[in-house]
Structure 1
Amino acid sequence: MSHVESPVHNVPVSGPTSLTLDDHRFDPNFHYEATTQPLFNLYAPNIQDAYDDIQNKGIRVVREIEQVGETAWFNIEDPDGNVIMICNC
């Protein structure tokens, strides 16, 4: 990816996937509101270990572990009220 100036940040990742964070600072019409839907997910190879670690850190879990086949996930809330999914997929 080409170089981009703040408020856009390209996060280097390996493989074909890319991650870009944008705070929309230069968009006067943008209005952000926290959502109850996950904004993105973070990979955890062992969902139970990740869940236990989250609990031990006092992070709010807003959706308990769910599993379909080999895929499992749960949702947490960040300090700003955004929902983030932790998933083994």
Structure 2
Amino acid sequence: MNPLLNELGTVFIPVKDVEKARDWYCDLLGVPADGEVLHGHLYVLPMKGTGIVLDSKIYAEEATFKVPAFHFNTKDIEGAYQFMKEKQMNLLTDVENGHWFKFTDLDGNVLMVCEC
């Protein structure tokens, strides 16, 4: 019997300043930024499903995501794109193939939004 589960636990994102990253990601996702920074370098974002941990201890410019390692889900890709434009996010693409677009966080990690 295989002891590994067919599921993802958490994605770690390298960030330079964990407090600034916490505030940015919480604002992006519309969740309160009232959680505690753990051990001086970790912040666990309040997520549904697979978790995200912001980690300043693993940050190095060369360690940032150059391609998306995951995507945020949306039911309205055009609405999500407009939302990101209004928040003046660093958009890397327009909506592609009617289903996805890429952007970066404060530290240059390439992220993606996909319509599910």
User: When the two structures are superposed, what TM-score results if normalisation uses the length of structure 2?
Assistant: 0.51
Return the structure number with greater helix share: 2
- Report how many residues are paired: 76
CA distance in 1, matches of 2:113, 2:93: 10
Partner residue in 1 for 2:107: 80
Aligned-residue sequence identity (percent) comes to 24
Return the structure number with greater strand share: 1
In structure 2, runs of 5+ residues without a counterpart are 1-8, 10-37
1:31–1:44 distance in 2 versus 1, CA, 3 Å: closer
Question: Which of the numbers 14, 18, 42 marks the counterpart of 2:50?
Answer: 18
1:31–1:43 distance in 2 versus 1, CA, 3 Å: closer
CA distance in 1, matches of 2:43, 2:65: 21
CA distance in 1, matches of 2:79, 2:45: 29
1:20–1:76 distance in 2 versus 1, CA, 3 Å: closer
CA distance in 1, matches of 2:89, 2:45: 27
Question: Which has the higher Rg, Structure 1 or Structure 2?
Answer: 1
CA distance in 1, matches of 2:81, 2:115: 11
Note the alpha carbon deviations across 1:48-70, whole angstroms, 9 max, x for none: 00101111111011122112xxx
CA distance in 2, matches of 1:58, 1:22: 21
Structure 1 residue 36: Cα displacement:
2.2
User: When the two structures are superposed, what TM-score results if normalisation uses the length of structure 1?
Assistant: 0.64
RMSD of the alignment, in Å?
A: 2.8
